Amino acid sequence: MIWALLAFLGIPIWFLAVILIAVFRNRRKVLARPDIFRFVEMTDDGWSRSAGVARWVSDVLIVHKGPALVGTDAEQVVSVEVRGDVDTPIKKLDGDAVEMEWEFAESGSRRVAVNRSDLTTATR
């Protein structure tokens, strides 16, 4: 039904297919980098349902956003503290997770969880 509506509006299906291919190709390219790690942020209601993707450049944390991971946020990190194991399993992370706290220079601190296998990458 949505394809018929888009065709009616004059948007060709091949154009949508090209955009989807570009989105998935860029996402795969970003996730294939060896310095990328996934994290889940702690919210007021518990662990977030969506996982983030980030990497370090010196002491700056680059967080990739969006379905194609094209958008980025960069924040300087003052300190990284490993707090210990996470008691509850987190769906977006594989296996056992470790809780960390990132303290940013301008925006306070955030509690996150990362895979134990990504712990060395996530702590710089």
| Neighbour-count burial for 64-79, b at 16+ CB within 10 Å, e otherwise | beeebbeeeeebebee
Query: Tens of pLDDT along 9-28?
Result: 677 777 878 888 988 898 89
SS3 73: strand
Q: What is the CATH number of the domain that holds 60?
A: 2.30.29
Residue pair 107/120 in contact by the 8 Å Cβ criterion? no
28 plus 39 within the same structural domain: no
What residue numbers bound the domain in which 11 lies?
1-32
Is the model's pTM score more than 0.85? no
Query: Tens of pLDDT along 56-76?
Result: 998 899 998 888 888 888 999
111 plus 84 within the same structural domain: yes
SS3 19: helix
3 plus 55 within the same structural domain: no
